[in-house]
Homo-oligomer: A and B are copies of this chain.
Amino acid sequence: MPTEIPDIVISRLPVYLRALERLTQEGQEVTSSHELGRRLGISSAQIRKDLSHFGGFGKQGTGYKIAFLKEQLRQVLKVEREWNVVLVGAGDLGSAIAHYRGFSDRGFHIISVFDNSAEKIGRKLSTYDIEPMSQLDEFVTEHDIRIAMIAVPAEHAQQVADTLVKAGVKAILNYAPINLSVPEGVHVQYIDPVLHLQRMTYYLSE
């Protein structure tokens, strides 16, 4: 396994993995870079090049064995293991996240939810007890949590991120509509569906 894979390649691997999982559900056992390319709107040359970073996945002409390729990608991405995650924010958005089953289905388990509202603390959100924000850092450290989701209002997001990073979190999925500043070695990904809509309206005629 190589140690250095370009970030841009890493960002495409989950998309390949998802397509392979879909093919499995459809009963397929073998696929090709052409088929994957067609499904994903990525050139087959690009796919072959991306997958060649791991060496020996497919043979020219015989295609990729889906089960094997999935396993390799899962190992590379470290998603063959299960991850514990904390969710910060128990408002509308936090509630939607807590109820969404797609995370645990795919190996990401929310194990605790934090909020700073006195009204919410101690109440249930989905299957979780809402914990006070004051216990966030201790919880993260104690449970060796590396991944957190932030679903607090924009004006609190940076402060929450600072607390999480100080306590040892290395990966943040940020739903607050604001860019976070984090030290090197900490990764942030953003979910803001409105940005995606705005990326498309440019192309719409009046």
A80-136 contacts to B, CB under 8 A, are 83, 85, 92-93, 95-97, 99-103, 106, 108
A194 near B19 (CB under 8 angstroms)? no
Residues of B within 8 A of A38 (CB): 181
Please tell me if A10 contacts chain B, counting CB pairs below 8 Å: yes
How would residues 183 to 206 of chain A score, 1 for a CB under 8 Å from any chain B CB and 0 otherwise? 000010111111111111111101
Q: Which residue in B101, B106, B190, B192 is a CB contact (below 8 Å) of A92?
A: B101
A198 near B99 (CB under 8 angstroms)? no
Q: A19-B179, A179-B15 are in contact. Are A92 and B83 (CB under 8 A)?
A: no
Residues of B within 8 A of A41 (CB): 179, 181
Instruction: State the copy count for this chain.
Output: 2
Please tell me if A40 contacts chain B, counting CB pairs below 8 Å: yes
Q: Which residue in B39, B177, B189, B204 is a CB contact (below 8 Å) of A200?
A: B189
Q: Which residue in B19, B40, B146, B196 is a CB contact (below 8 Å) of A191?
A: B196
Please tell me if A51 contacts chain B, counting CB pairs below 8 Å: no
Segment among A27-35, A55-63, A71-79, A159-167 that sits at the interface with chain B: A71-79
B147 near A200 (CB under 8 angstroms)? yes
B197 near A147 (CB under 8 angstroms)? yes
How would residues 8 to 24 of chain A score, 1 for a CB under 8 Å from any chain B CB and 0 otherwise? 00110111011100100
B76 near A106 (CB under 8 angstroms)? no
B192 near A193 (CB under 8 angstroms)? no
Residues of B within 8 A of A190 (CB): 196
Q: A92-B100, A100-B92, A171-B204 are in contact. Are A79 and B179 (CB under 8 A)?
A: no
- What are some 5 contacts across the A-B interface (CB < 8 A)? A5-B202, A18-B178, A38-B181, A39-B179, A170-B200
In the A-B complex, the 4 residue pairs with the closest CB atoms: A96-B96, A189-B196, A171-B200, A14-B198
